[in-house]
């Protein structure tokens, strides 16, 4: 098991320093926040659906935290564009880690998956599959 | 001070007692263990004390007649005397309760005394730099008893504001619970002055010695505190053990905390009377191997000399502060060198403490990122997290250099 | 049952793992360790698990980023899963809290649930054979909440009177807390039936498994209990650690017990939220080395096979009962062979149990005299003390013979 | 350190089986009870003083417990005869153990010294040097 070496490859640092899809949407279909108490990461995800109510037209995030959580949010929001809510729901933590393209040390996995959990919880609440919660948390 | 304690000690010889320090981590990096405020490493003789106990003596204590039980009982009971002496408690075992950690010591007093004695209008005084184990415990017990909690503020350099302390501690104060040494700022608090203030107002004072007992010579009677708690795992001892000093008269009067075997005298279906001190506060089969090993750790520290350990650590933290202050992208929390214990918390501009710690780990450097169980203090400091390097008797200036190199690497990566 | 578990095991090979068993005591007597209900001996691999931890991994857990802390965190957290599986808790770590012993498990629930939920008119149902750790705890918490405690009686052979249980457990019952196996009588109580009775009346049931988990295969879900506690030091593990199983839904709803680092999510000066299960109930630096070693002990017992251990002990206790029943000056407490776990408490006419134990010790035989933390039960039995021999996987029939010879010696001396 | 071998020498057993001074005094000058919770030993000591109010004329004990506590009570009450209260007060645990004439294992010392503690507490209460306590206990 790798214990964290190599986590900070160029791609991660690039997404951290120049996050894609950063900011708030004017008129999101749904919006949800979450936190990772370990690093103090806080992320809000805004999602705009297409008229079919199923396909993601655009996703954005805001908040702050460590490089892993920020890069992960930047990359995942890119990836979400064009995805259906079912496909979002099918994502698991390995998908996110694959997306990051580096070995995430065990203690940092929570940082990596925060954005995915927030997006999934937001979608589930929007679809009425989950009762509304104020905040998603990784712990 | 004896001539022995005036001399520095040979760090390389000290390191030989700690086999873990030779470990390689990651891709063959040599370990630089700078996370001693979280937990210290354990010298061979303490590990051996435990193994020897299990291989030669292991038995339940207090009431056994057979040979092993007699040996175990005597060793376990004497361990209390040795720890009492180690922190200057002249009452011996009667003033030294073994707990599983500092946190349990605080909860013991908060439950056994606080829950029974606090009420509306009473005040518990803490500081802004309290560890969660004190802050959350008193906050919750106060909530349950309708008492109030007040916090002594810190100044810009992380010292207690003693003027504010004099404002806050008053006639309604029933307990002042304050950390002896801050695990985040390195501040050494004036416990004796706070004890005087507390006692002027007929309040008790509880000092949290988790970061003091491992690093400096502590005398609870000179400090004039009513309660004092510490943890074994931060002072070269095992996990799962800590000590709680309490003044004999208070411990005699106080209700017990946990109930069970060992802490009773006579039990009937309808009522129970309590055993003598300190057993009244140690319910169930106690931390036997841990207690014996903790006494070994105390002996070890005493033989090396707490004054020498203190001096060694101050040297390291001064050197670390010097090196870190070379860079203006590093923010350092806490008082200046000379006033602080052997740890330093800081942040590197633009790099989250957790990322910094991950990069350090790639260099073999073990530091701790996060809130160090002082979230409210971090709110005061205006940051969610910090990186903390904390030193102990086996650390070296070379390790500080490796730390600074690793910070430089992070600066390059994120720059 | 697999063919492996159907075979008896080789006691001599088992004994090789326990170096202490070769110890000589007194004037060169070979140790016959028959005090296993008080504490069990520790096999080499469990001692090594601890030493290896301190020599190679030692670090504080949960929030560390550095290599050692990651290794320690993973090992400590997984130890919870392993213990959960060991007692049949399908919820894994979320249903397994590490405590310092069985006694703390009982106090945790009595404080976190009982002190908050019990009130006047509520009843806690115990048995006459409860250990002080359950009896005194509920007695005192009931006293503080104005609840009542009721005791299920035992019959002449030391079994629970189940008719009386049906009388006593009723609509006002909020908690039934009962020992799974009596540490004095050896009685194995019908926990499943008691759980049904409790649940019919919307009461919780807490089973004290201190004398069960080390000796037989336990499945908390088959028993249908709400809480279940046990101690490491009685099951080949270290001192200072125990397990508390709780149903996830109950543990989620319940208030925490002790407060401090590790059990919090967000801390502010005025309020705090709690961490997820099971950490919500583990305040402060946890019992890291102990937890890892306890998981090793559980693996060890599983590899040997709990069914085989159980069978071996039943063989020993039957043999011991046979031999003791030869004499009409020996009074034996508890149910007949076949119904009892591997221990026997007795008295020799005209010889106080403590004198008997001292004479046994001269023969190298370690037994326990006294009230075994069941004073009220001893009142029911009409004696202040008894002598108890308790067996484990490494004991032999030869040791029972030495015990009987030692009794004979006492008989001669005092005759 | 001897761990208990040899505790049951003939003399001890003789005093246990045939205790001297066993029973209650009709008209004791003072009387006090104590217990050793470890063994469940309970002992009452009755003392009759001579007219000088200082010298012990006769001491008796009753109660039950282990051989060590009973033999110790039997031997000590013998010894007390003719002693002054000051001399009683000067006795320490080693004196009692010497009297027993055997090595007492550490865990049994409480059994051995119970009678001495009861007699001393009784005398101290009688002389007003100690506030009255219901029962002496070794623990
Ligand atoms: C039935 C029973 N319950 C509880 C306990 C208490 O265990 P511990 O002392 O490890 O807390 C014991 C052992 O002494 C026991 O036998
Ligand atoms: C100042 C201070 N108080 C209390 C504690 C809690 O110690 P433990 O976790 O051993 O209970 C710590 C260590 O984490 C500390 O640094």
Tell me the C-alpha distance between B102 and B108, whole Å: 10
Question: Any idea of the CA torsion for C280, C283, C286, C291, to the nearest 10 degrees?
Answer: -50
Min Cα distance B283 → chain C (Å) is 7
Does any domain span residue B161? yes
Closest-lying ligand 2 atom to the alpha carbon of residue B234: 10
Does any domain span residue C41? no
Q: Read off the pTM.
A: 0.96
Would you state the pLDDT for residue B210? 98
Would you state the pLDDT for residue A7? 87
Does any domain span residue B35? no
Strands (E), C196-249: 204-208, 227-231, 242-246
State whether C317 and C299 are in the same domain.
no
Min Cα distance C117 → chain A (Å) is 27
Q: Which residue in the set C359, C361, C370 is minimally distant from D38, CB to CB?
A: C370
Average of per-residue pLDDT values in chain A: 91
Among B303, B335, B370, where does a domain finish?
A: B303
State whether C209 and C334 are in the same domain.
no
Would you state the pLDDT for residue C391? 98
Place of tokens 């076949």: C338
Which residues are B330's β-sheet partners?
A: B348
Closest-lying ligand 2 atom to the alpha carbon of residue B38: 14
Contact C393, C33 (CB under 8 A): no
Mean pLDDT of C369-396: 96
Tell me the C-alpha distance between C30 and C361, whole Å: 10
Would you state the pLDDT for residue B2? 45
> How does DSSP classify residue A134?
S
In this structure, the residues whose C-beta lies within 6 A of any atom of ligand 1 are B 261, 284-285; C 37, 101-103, 131, 133, 179, 183, 208, 210-211, 231, 373
Tell me the C-alpha distance between B389 and B403, whole Å: 9
State whether B377 and B266 are in the same domain.
no
Output the CA C210–ligand 1 centroid distance in Å. 5
**Token digits for B138?**
């008193």
State whether C240 and C387 are in the same domain.
no
State whether B131 and B220 are in the same domain.
yes
What share of chain B has pLDDT > 70, as a percent? 99
Active site residue C236: no
Tell me the C-alpha distance between B192 and B165, whole Å: 13
Tell me the C-alpha distance between C207 and C189, whole Å: 10
Buried b (16+ CB within 10 A) or exposed e, B354-380: bbbbbbbbbbbbbbbbbbbbbbbbbee
Would you state the pLDDT for residue C3? 44
State whether B25 and B71 are in the same domain.
no
Does any domain span residue C372? yes
**How much is the CA Rg of chain C, to the nearest whole Å?**
22
State whether B293 and B362 are in the same domain.
no
Model ipTM?
Answer: 0.95
Chain C residue with minimum CA distance to B236: C54
Would you state the pLDDT for residue C4? 55
pLDDT in tens, C262-321: 999 999 999 999 999 999 999 999 999 999 999 999 999 999 999 999 999 999 999 999
pLDDT in tens, A108-120: 999 999 999 999 9
**Token digits for A69?**
């959580």
State whether C353 and C278 are in the same domain.
no
State whether C163 and C206 are in the same domain.
yes
Mean pLDDT is lowest, of A5-14, B24-33, B295-304, for A5-14
Burial of D26 (C-beta count, 10 Å sphere; 0-12/13-18/19+) = exposed
The residue length of chain A stands at 139
pLDDT greater than 90 at residue D5: no
Min Cα distance D112 → chain C (Å) is 12
CA-nearest of C178, C224, C169 to C201 is C169
For chain C, how many structural domains are there in total?
A: 2
From the CB coordinates, do chains D and A have 3 or more pairs under 8 Å?
Answer: no
Q: At A133, is the pLDDT very low, low, confident or very high (cuts 50, 70, 90)?
A: confident
Contact B33, C37 (CB under 8 A): no
Q: Which of residues 76-95 of D touch B (CB under 8 A)?
A: none
**Token digits for B168?**
């806050």
pLDDT in tens, B340-359: 999 999 999 999 999 999 99
Tell me the C-alpha distance between B23 and A5, whole Å: 17
> How does DSSP classify residue C124?
E
Q: At B5, is the pLDDT very low, low, confident or very high (cuts 50, 70, 90)?
A: low
Output the CA B179–ligand 2 centroid distance in Å. 9
| Domain residue spans of chain A | 3-137
In this structure, the residues whose C-beta lies within 6 A of any atom of ligand 2 are B 37, 101-103, 131, 133, 179, 183, 208, 210-211, 231, 373; C 261, 284-285
State whether C309 and C299 are in the same domain.
no
Q: Which helix (H) or strand (E) holds C335?
A: none
State whether C180 and C127 are in the same domain.
yes
CA-nearest of C340, C415, C347, C354 to C383 is C347
Q: What is the CATH number of the domain that holds B94?
A: 3.40.640.10
Output the CA B117–ligand 2 centroid distance in Å. 25
Q: Which helix (H) or strand (E) holds C247?
A: none
Looking at the complex, does the CB of residue A13 fall below 8 Å from at least one CB of chain C?
no
Does any domain span residue C36? no
Place of tokens 């004791």: D28
Does any domain span residue C39? no
Q: At C1, is the pLDDT very low, low, confident or very high (cuts 50, 70, 90)?
A: very low
Average of per-residue pLDDT values in chain B: 96
Does any domain span residue C37? no
Tell me the C-alpha distance between C390 and A71, whole Å: 61
- Establish how many alpha carbons lie within 13 A of residue B403's alpha carbon, considering only the half-sphere containing its beta carbon: 30
Mean pLDDT of A74-98: 96
Q: At A2, is the pLDDT very low, low, confident or very high (cuts 50, 70, 90)?
A: very low
Contact B177, B142 (CB under 8 A): no
Chain B residue with minimum CA distance to A64: B352
Would you state the pLDDT for residue B4? 55
Q: Which domain holds residue C7?
A: 3-30+305-414
Does any domain span residue C38? no
pLDDT greater than 50 at residue C51: yes
Q: At D49, is the pLDDT very low, low, confident or very high (cuts 50, 70, 90)?
A: very high
pLDDT in tens, C136-151: 999 999 999 999 999 9
- Assess if CATH 3.90.1010.10 describes domain D3-137: yes
Among C303, C320, C346, where does a domain finish?
A: C303
pLDDT in tens, B182-226: 999 999 999 999 999 999 999 999 999 999 999 999 999 999 999
State whether C359 and C322 are in the same domain.
yes
Among C303, C319, C338, where does a domain finish?
A: C303
């Amino acid at each position: 098991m790798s214990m964290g070496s190599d986590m900070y490859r160029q791609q991660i640092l690039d997404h951290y320093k120049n996050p894609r899809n950063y900011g708030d949407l004017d008129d999101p279909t749904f919006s949800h926040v979450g936190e990772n108490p370990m690093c103090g990461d806080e992320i809000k995800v805004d999602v705009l659906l297409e008229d079919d109510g199923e396909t993601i037209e655009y996703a954005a995030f805001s908040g702050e935290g460590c490089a892993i959580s920020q890069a992960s949010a930047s990359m995942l929001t890119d990836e979400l564009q064009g995805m259906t809510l079912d496909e979002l729901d099918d994502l698991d933590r390995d998908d996110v880690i694959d997306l990051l393209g580096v070995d995430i040390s065990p203690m940092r996995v929570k940082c990596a998956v925060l954005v995915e959990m927030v997006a999934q919880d937001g979608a589930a609440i929007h679809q009425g599959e989950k009762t509304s919660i104020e905040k998603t948390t990784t712990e | 001070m004896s001539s022995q304690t005036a001399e520095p000690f040979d760090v390389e010889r000290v390191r030989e007692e700690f086999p873990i320090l030779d470990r390689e981590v990651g891709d063959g990096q040599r370990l630089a263990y700078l996370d001693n405020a979280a937990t210290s490493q354990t010298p061979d003789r303490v590990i051996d004390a435990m193994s020897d106990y299990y291989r030669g003596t292991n038995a339940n204590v207090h009431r056994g007649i057979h040979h092993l039980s007699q040996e175990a009982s005597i060793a376990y009971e004497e361990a209390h005397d040795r720890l009492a002496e180690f922190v200057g408690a002249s009452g011996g075992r009667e003033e030294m309760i073994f707990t599983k950690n500092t946190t349990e010591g605080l909860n013991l007093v908060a439950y056994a005394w606080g829950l029974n004695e606090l009420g509306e209008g009473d005040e518990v005084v803490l500081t802004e730099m309290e560890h969660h184990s004190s802050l959350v415990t008193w906050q919750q017990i106060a909530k349950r008893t309708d008492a109030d909690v007040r916090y002594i503020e810190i100044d810009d350099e992380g010292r207690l504001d003693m003027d504010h302390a004099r404002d806050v501690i008053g006639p309604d104060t029933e307990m002042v619970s304050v950390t002896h040494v801050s695990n985040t700022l390195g501040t050494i608090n004036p416990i004796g002055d706070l004890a005087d203030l507390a006692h002027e107002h007929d309040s008790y004072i509880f000092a949290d010695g988790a970061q003091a007992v491992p690093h400096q010579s502590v005398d609870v009677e000179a400090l004039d505190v009513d309660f004092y708690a510490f943890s074994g795992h931060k002072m070269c001892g095992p996990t799962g053990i800590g000590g709680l000093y309490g003044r004999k008269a208070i411990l005699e009067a106080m209700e017990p905390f946990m109930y069970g075997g060992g802490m009773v005298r006579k039990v009937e279906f309808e009522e129970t009377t309590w055993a003598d001190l300190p057993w009244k506060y140690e319910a169930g089969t106690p931390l036997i191997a841990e207690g014996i090993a903790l006494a070994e750790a105390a002996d070890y520290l005493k033989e090396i000399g707490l004054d020498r350990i203190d001096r060694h650590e101050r040297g390291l933290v001064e050197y670390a502060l010097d090196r870190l202050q070379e860079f203006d992208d590093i923010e350092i929390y806490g008082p200046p060198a000379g006033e602080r214990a052997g740890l330093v918390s800081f942040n590197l501009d633009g790099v989250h403490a957790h990322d910094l710690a991950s990069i350090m780990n790639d260099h073999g450097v073990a530091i701790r990122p996060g809130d160090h169980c002082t979230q409210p203090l971090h709110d005061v400091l205006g940051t969610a997290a910090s990186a903390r390097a904390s030193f102990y008797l086996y650390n070296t200036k070379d390790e500080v250099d490796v730390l600074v190199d690793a910070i430089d690497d992070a600066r390059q990566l994120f720059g």
